[in-house]
Structure 1
Amino acid sequence: MDLTPFLDTLEGTSLDQILLSVAISGKVAIAMKGRFLLRAVCENFQDRSHIGCAVTDESSCLAYLAREPYELLICTDRLEEGNGFELSRKAREAQPHLKVVVLALGDVIPAEYAEAPWLDAVVAEADVVDDQRPLQAAVIAVMGNHSYRSPSLRTGILPYLSCPRLTPREYEVLDLLASGMSDREIARSLVVSEETARTYTKRLLQTLGVNNRLQAVLKGMRCGMIQI
């Protein structure tokens, strides 16, 4: 999937604005597994004109990187096609000054990449769910020419995870969120008002004990409630 041509149509985000405080002057490449993660990260850029590509596979991202210089690559380890760690390696070979942040949905850095000099920052999915703002910290670190590993990757201890029971409606809303839908799109799908859709989303966040949609979907994945 290539979201790049549609970046200017994205709505504002209700997430915690994880990337808005970061000063980025150059082009940003984003490669995420699934429409939800791709959209969630893109919507957290205040100035989306910096996003040069927003895709879900390795080859498309490399094609964009071959066209012009980029400053930052943010990707997940798992992609719809390809591997985020390999994407990062190839991207740095093509553009040595590129900064790299990997969101590890598997919560680990494979042994063959653990000491890789091109792997600037890695964030464990578990730490995003735990609301320690590690993705923001990772981007700030690499933009300041530092390396970064999120808390559980440094300690080897994953945060405690509690999995509450959801109502049928909450499961339905979680599925729709995971598919990348906005409140407006959820409202249309459920044939309710947009205000009611927002209320459903807020109730879901409360039940899951999280603060935003990104955490909700990631926690749903970790609890085996959904897949993306």
Structure 2
Amino acid sequence: MTAIRVFLVDDHAVVRRGMRAFFDLIDDIEVVGEAGDGQSALDELAVRAVQDDLPEVVLMDLLMPRLDGIGATKEIKRRYPQVEVVALTSFGEAERVHLALEAGASGYLLKDTDADQVGAAVRAAHKGQVHLDPAVARTLTRTLVGPDRTSNTLTPREREILVLLARGQSNRDIADTLVISERTARTHVSNVLSKLGFVSRTQAALWAVREGLVIELVPESWTG
């Protein structure tokens, strides 16, 4: 089994050491690098990109000097869209969550979450799934809605895709469920995000719940 390659970004060395110590005990996740702020992370990732050695998942603190996690996440997703970012912070305010998701984060965890949940979020991001702290998800399902968004802009197939996405299915899962190719599923997901004006699967999933397209959201189930 190939370990998931993870890059840690946090301005507190003790936090990075703690996460390294935790992941060292897990066979399927490997820490390949770390940085103390967003700009240092971008610099390191640029070097790794030249070497074709990018991580698969970045665990990103949001409050850091020089360049914060939101700005760094946005730039990572612009430069390396294949790299998934899981936001990790001490704050659970809806506004900060929105900013992280709008920047392209695929998951959001609070720093006081159980260590096992951090591992679960990394695995979910690697699979193309979403994972949110339950408290964060409850907040977002109440607030993530805009008057200019409507599912009427979606085709029947795209609405099916949205519902499956909101249930935590990855592109491969969606393809298997609908008996289509993974490439076709990926195209449908991209169309759904574009038509609804979202930049992440997480935003679309939570909006679908808010709009009643999915009856209930169980954040823990999103890890598959």
User: Where does the alignment leave 5 or more consecutive residues of structure 1 unmatched?
Assistant: 1-22, 158-228
Alignment of 1:97-136 (within 5 A): 97-109=82-94, 110=96, 113=99, 115-116=101-102, 118-126=104-112, 128=113, 131=114, 133-136=116-119
**103 and 115 in structure 1: CA distance in 2 versus 1, 3 angstrom threshold:** closer
- Residue aligning to 2:33: 53
Contact 1:27 1:52 in 2 (8 A): yes
Cα distance in 2 between the residues matched to 1:117 and 1:58: 13
Cα distance in 2 between the residues matched to 1:27 and 1:102: 16
- Residue aligning to 1:141: 124
SS of the aligned residue for 1:51 comes to: strand
User: Where does the alignment leave 5 or more consecutive residues of structure 2 unmatched?
Assistant: 49-53, 141-224
Q: Which amino acid aligns with 2:32?
A: G
Cα distance in 2 between the residues matched to 1:102 and 1:39: 17
Q: CA deviation at 1:84?
A: 0.9
Contact 2:11 2:64 in 1 (8 A): yes
Contact 1:108 1:124 in 2 (8 A): no
Give the structure with the higher percent helix: 2
Number of aligned positions between the proteins: 132
Alignment of 1:29-178 (within 5 A): 29-46=7-24, 50-68=30-48, 69-109=54-94, 110=96, 113=99, 115-116=101-102, 118-126=104-112, 128=113, 131=114, 133-156=116-139
SS of the aligned residue for 1:107 comes to: coil
Cα distance in 2 between the residues matched to 1:29 and 1:111: 21
**114 and 72 in structure 1: CA distance in 2 versus 1, 3 angstrom threshold:** closer
Cα distance in 1 between the residues matched to 2:22 and 2:97: 31
**77 and 53 in structure 1: CA distance in 2 versus 1, 3 angstrom threshold:** same
CA shift digits 1:66-115 (9 cap, x unpaired)? 01222111111112432112111111111110011111211235265265
SS of the aligned residue for 2:55 comes to: coil
The TM-score normalised by the length of structure 1 is 0.50
**100 and 106 in structure 1: CA distance in 2 versus 1, 3 angstrom threshold:** same
Root-mean-square deviation over aligned CA pairs: 2.9
**156 and 125 in structure 1: CA distance in 2 versus 1, 3 angstrom threshold:** farther
- Residue aligning to 1:15: none
The TM-score normalised by the length of structure 2 is 0.51
